[in-house]
Amino acid sequence: MAPHMCSVVPPYLLNALAESEHNSDEIRNSARSCLNFSKNYLEKRQRVFAELTAPRGLRGAATHQPKQRIIPDALLKHISECEDVDEDTRAKAKRDLAHIEEVQAKYQQVQGIAAQAKTLTTAAEPAKAEATYRAVYDAKQTEDEGDLPGDVLRVEGQKAVGDEAANQSESMNQGSYTNSPYTHKILRRILPSTTAYDNAGNVLSFYQDIFNWKSIDNNNMNVLSSVHFGKSYENAFWDPEIAQMVYGDGHNFLGNFTNAVDVIGHELTHAVTEHTSPLDYTGQSGALNEHISDTFGIMVKQRVQGETAEQADWLIGEECLMPGVKGVALRSMKAPGTAYNDPRFGKDPQPDNFKDYRFTFEDNGGVHLYSGIPNKAFYLTAIAFGGYSWEKAGKIWWETLQSGQIPPRCTFIQFADATVDKAEELFGDDGAAIVRKAWNEVGVIRKSHA
């Protein structure tokens, strides 16, 4: 098995870059470096999901971080004292900081810990915050996790800063271009784009406004991001152990990660999945884990762009392919297997039907490879319902995640059945028929034993 941490660029693409004779030694070595670094994260994700999916009586037996895994008081203190932040934001930060310190003091009294200790322990319950705080840091090209998050660039309520990756000017006019995926790709290279800070806000507002879900954990968890990670690091990922987003600057073919709201939506949704229906990150359950991140990431993108299911391009990571690459995105939910075809890193290998599912040791059992199958089922569902994807199809998927009916080792057919049941509950027999038809079209079919 080639272990790796979940990240927006699938390992099979990086491996193809590393192996292709069409690439220079510099490019191949860069891709190998990215792959090798990613391997360090497999143990983290396995540990996180092993703890989250353990039987209830065994939870807590292994050391596992609490929901507020980044110490929040340092961030809140910075916001509360920052002259660039408006008075209302400073006041809220001071209020939440005082509340957190009060909770810590009470916990420390119970545990006999010295009152001057400031660090939350892994046994402490997270304090209930009244607001979600974002912050973007400069990792200064470190690849040492111990150096993260880095130097602060921008915090909640602070005006835009000069760093390009943290904040690249104001949002572009979403209505000024056509619906061609190629046109989208070109214009987004030219026009000012949203930032790591603003795009995190877009994701948070999506979950809040559409599903009444507060931040990542429904408890207003702080959302931290580090940009400029590694030297020419061609990926972006959610680190589950230090609970933050991490962005590389990219290299010759892959980059632009902070500009892609669907990428940020994808990665932050991995964290949301930890708090809803944790799915083992292997095989079919791991592919469903990836599918859920793609599904909610694409809905965030469509909401930002004001697109209906019919108008949308259904491309994941179209911002991330550099100019000159023969392709339109990292993945296509509408047509898995068609996102790119470039001799320097091969053809998109995603199948779009379960008949092409094969057992593999690579990619944690094909978690990125086979996510295209349920991805297309969601696309077909959203198109059949019409309107905005989050109104019906997204609601079904979200309520399914909240239902308690998704086991850690969930199979495609189990997930399909759960979404059909939820569709019937929400939208009647016609809704259930739409969802069942979508799953049948991608080969995930309930067998008859009559």
Q: Is the bond leading into 408 cis (omega within 30 degrees of zero)? A: no
Active site residue 228: no
Are the beta carbons of 132 and 219 closer than 8 angstroms?
no
> Across-strand partners of 151?
138
Are the beta carbons of 237 and 264 closer than 8 angstroms?
no
Active site residue 368: yes
Question: Which residues, in sequence order, are CB contacts of 244 under 8 Å at separation 6+?
Answer: 70, 148, 149, 223, 224, 225, 226, 238
Q: Among residues 377, 227, 234, which one has the least CA distance to residue 294?
A: 377
The DSSP bridge pattern shows strands 244-248 and 223-229 to be parallel
User: Where do runs of H (alpha helix) occur along 180-260?
Assistant: 181-190, 196-211
245 membership: H or E segment, kind and range = strand 244-248
Rounded-to-10 torsion of CA 166, 170, 174, 175 = -160
Residue 46, burial from CB neighbour count under 10 angstroms (0-12, 13-18, 19+): middle
The catalytically annotated residue of 234, 267, 290, 319 is 267
The DSSP bridge pattern shows strands 341-342 and 331-332 to be unpaired
Residue 253, burial from CB neighbour count under 10 angstroms (0-12, 13-18, 19+): buried
How many C-beta neighbours within 10 Å does residue 184 have? 19
Residues belonging to the active site = 267, 368
